[in-house]
Amino acid sequence: VVRAIDVVKEYGTGDNVTQALKGANLNIFRGEYMCIMGPSGSGKSTLFNMIGGLGTPTSGMVFIDEVDVAQLDSYELAWLRCRKIGYIFQSYNILPVLTAMENVSLPMLFAGMNPDDAREKTYELLKRVGIAHRAFNRPYQLSGGQQQRVAIARALANDPAIILADEPTANLDLKTGEEIKDMMKQLQEEDNVTIICATHDMKMIDICNRVVWIVDGQVTKIENREDI
Amino acid sequence: VVRAIDVVKEYGTGDNVTQALKGANLNIFRGEYMCIMGPSGSGKSTLFNMIGGLGTPTSGMVFIDEVDVAQLDSYELAWLRCRKIGYIFQSYNILPVLTAMENVSLPMLFAGMNPDDAREKTYELLKRVGIAHRAFNRPYQLSGGQQQRVAIARALANDPAIILADEPTANLDLKTGEEIKDMMKQLQEEDNVTIICATHDMKMIDICNRVVWIVDGQVTKIENREDI
Ligand SMILES: Nc1ncnc2c1ncn2[C@@H]1O[C@H](COP(=O)(O)OP(=O)(O)OP(=O)(O)O)[C@@H](O)[C@H]1O
Ligand SMILES: Nc1ncnc2c1ncn2[C@@H]1O[C@H](COP(=O)(O)OP(=O)(O)OP(=O)(O)O)[C@@H](O)[C@H]1O
Ligand SMILES: [Mg+2]
Ligand SMILES: [Mg+2]
Give pLDDT tens digits for B134-186.
999 999 999 999 999 999 999 999 999 999 999 999 999 999 999 999 999 99
Residues in chain A within 8 Å Cβ distance of B144: 40, 45, 90-91, 166-167
Mutate to test the pocket of ligand 1, among A9, A18, A196, A200 (most ligand atoms within 8 A of CB): A18
Extract the residue ranges of chain A whose pLDDT is less than 50. Answer: none
| 8 Å CB contact of A174 and B143 | no
Inter-chain residue contact B176 with A39, CB threshold 8 Å: yes
* Per-residue pLDDT at B15: 80
Residue B159: Cβ within 10 Å count: 14
Query: How far, in Å, is the centroid of ligand 4 from the Cα of A143?
Result: 5
Structure confidence by residue, pLDDT tens digits, B174-202: 999 999 999 999 999 999 999 999 998 98
pLDDT of residue B16 exceeding 90: no
Q: Please name the residue of chain A whose CA is at the shortest distance from the CA of residue B175.
A: A39
Amino acid of residue B1: V
Ligand nearest to the backbone CA of A40: 1
Chain B residues near residue A37 by CB distance under 8 angstroms? 173
Q: Rounded CA gap, B159 and B144, in Å?
A: 24
**Which residues, other chains included, contact B170 with Cβ-Cβ below 8 Å and sequence gap of 6+?**
A167, A170, A171, B90, B148, B199, B201
A118-146 pLDDT per residue, tens: 999 999 999 999 999 999 999 999 999 99
**Which pLDDT does position A28 carry in this prediction?**
96
A109 touches chain B (CB under 8 A): no
d(CA A180, CA A162): 16
Cα(A166) to centroid(ligand 3), Å: 7
Domains of chain A from N-terminus onward: 1-227 (3.40.50.300)
Indicate whether residue A140 lines ligand 2 (CB < 6 A).
yes
Ligand 3 centroid to Cα of residue A119, in Å, is 31
Taking CA atoms only, the protein residue closest to ligand 2 atom 23 is: B41
CA–CA min distance B218, chain A (Å): 16
Q: Where are the beta strands (DSSP E) in chain A?
A: 2-11, 18-28, 33-37, 59-64, 67-68, 85-88, 162-166, 194-198, 210-215, 218-224
CA distances from B62 to A205, B18, B55, B194 (A): 41, 20, 11, 16
Amino acid at site A159: D
Measured distance CA(B142)–CA(B6) in Å, rounded: 40
pLDDT in the model for residue B13: 84
Between positions 142 and 181 of B, the ones with CB within 8 A of A are 142-146, 148-149, 166-167, 170-177
Q: Mind listing the pLDDT tens digit for each residue in B28-85? A: 999 999 999 999 999 999 999 999 989 899 999 999 999 999 999 989 999 999 999 9
- Å from A209 to nearest chain B CA? 20
